[in-house]
Structure 1
């Protein structure tokens, strides 16, 4: 599938990887990248989502720093680069770019109009923020980082949010997880699933901490969630 151009709010443009369903029409899903850019992993995830009948679009959120980043988790140099990009990332502008992506999807003839989001790692944080700051129809957060500092925004969630938390997440200590769970407990729009014994990025196929059983369960829950809220 091709990379397309998306107009940014406030000027400029960036690219996104578009993957279409077999029927060439369906609800939209914004796929939100990890810290490694719109790499092969994110493209394959987008293709898998498209195969389920959705119009999947994964935007390049690092374009303001360095467009076209596609690195892996396989070398120390790439990890160093990833953390450099993460450190220089402007979260507010990232959310703005995701809103631009969502609006682009909704305007495409292939899209029925409903659009959800799903994000991993950094993308998991941003999926949570799309639930608090945008009118996305639903959102899914996989092992989002830094959410404990954002729990006050939970009061702004008005549409369904599904969260997958890795209990052994090396980037999210137990006290941070507890704060997030406590803040979201009982929220009518939020469903939180916690996965014991697994580390960050347990759903990344080929990753160091990939856990087949946990990944399959989280992905099945995500598929059901999207079917329920997007159709």
Structure 2
């Protein structure tokens, strides 16, 4: 499985990135994968490789590149309860600084770079993300109707700048919520908003999961939650992305 590190020109500098894609010299549908707040690290590289193995060019940008290249902060191999306070003390200023305005400036650069890669198709593409990356994925899809055919967000919050503009979506949507993040009542309210927008979507709570359930290097990891994530993501990409 070929992999490479890249630098993406943006309006605010250069973002380092990781890419994985099938071998063979052909072009493959593009997927922009936004990492969670912990950033690009072995588990994200493994997930990108696994997705690429299904026939996609997967680009994972360092969304916090303004604060330095990967790794933006040093992380323990396993992010458990003891490590979390110190890690989040360093991460939260970066997360809070990553505004909707920054997201939108970067998204155009990421999408243009992705569809310009010789190994990737010209688009439309899919966008997926985890935690804050899920929010960034939804912001990207809302801002780029027509360029984004599918968007999937896992244990990611949705803020008003997204929910107030869902009618602008043209992408098919999957939202996989952690049981620890969203009550059934909150899910029902969100889904009513999605219904009113006319979006083509699925939105569900993954049973028995905590925030961060897809990440095997954290104490929130749920093997069943990660598998459900693949069971939802892969069919979504298969039916929305062209392999021509």
Residues in 2 aligned to 1:175 and 1:96: alpha-carbon distance in whole angstroms = 34
Q: Normalised by the size of structure 2, how large is the TM-score?
A: 0.85
Alignment-derived partner of residue 230 in structure 2 = 219
1:119-170 deviations in Å (ceiling 9; x for gaps): 000001111112211121211111111435631111111121111111222x
Q: 2:177 aligns with which of 151, 158, 165?
A: 165
Alignment-derived partner of residue 33 in structure 1 = 35
**Aligned counterparts, 1:145-164, within 5 A:** 145-147=157-159, 150-164=162-176
Alignment-derived partner of residue 138 in structure 1 = 150
1:126 correspondence with 2:139? no
Q: Does the aligned pair in 1 maintain the 2:43–2:217 contact within 8 Å? A: no
1:42-73 deviations in Å (ceiling 9; x for gaps): 21111111111111111111012333225443
Long gaps (5+) in structure 2 = none
1:113 correspondence with 2:122? yes
Deviation of 1:95 (Å): 2.9
Q: Does the aligned pair in 2 maintain the 1:136–1:159 contact within 8 Å? A: yes
Q: 1:181 aligns with which of 191, 195, 202?
A: 191
Residues in 2 aligned to 1:22 and 1:193: alpha-carbon distance in whole angstroms = 35
Give the match's secondary structure for 2:51.
helix
Q: Normalised by the size of structure 1, how large is the TM-score?
A: 0.89
Residues in 1 aligned to 2:95 and 2:6: alpha-carbon distance in whole angstroms = 23
Deviation of 1:185 (Å): 2.8
Give the match's secondary structure for 1:7.
strand
In structure 2, the CA distance between the partners of 1:178 and 1:67, relative to structure 1 (3 Å rule), is farther
Alignment-derived partner of residue 12 in structure 1 = 13
Give the match's secondary structure for 1:179.
helix
Residues in 2 aligned to 1:71 and 1:219: alpha-carbon distance in whole angstroms = 28
Alignment-derived partner of residue 103 in structure 2 = 94
CA root-mean-square deviation = 2.1
With CA pairs under 8 Å and 6+ residues apart, which has the higher RCO, 1 or 2?
A: 2
1:23-57 deviations in Å (ceiling 9; x for gaps): 34311111101111212222111111111111111
Deviation of 1:99 (Å): 2.2
Q: 2:207 aligns with which of 190, 196, 201?
A: 196
In structure 2, the CA distance between the partners of 1:70 and 1:222, relative to structure 1 (3 Å rule), is farther
Long gaps (5+) in structure 1 = none
1:44 correspondence with 2:56? no
1:187-207 deviations in Å (ceiling 9; x for gaps): 342221222331111111232
Q: Does the aligned pair in 1 maintain the 2:167–2:199 contact within 8 Å? A: no
Q: What is the aligned length? A: 228
Q: Does the aligned pair in 1 maintain the 2:153–2:175 contact within 8 Å? A: yes
Residues in 2 aligned to 1:117 and 1:222: alpha-carbon distance in whole angstroms = 10
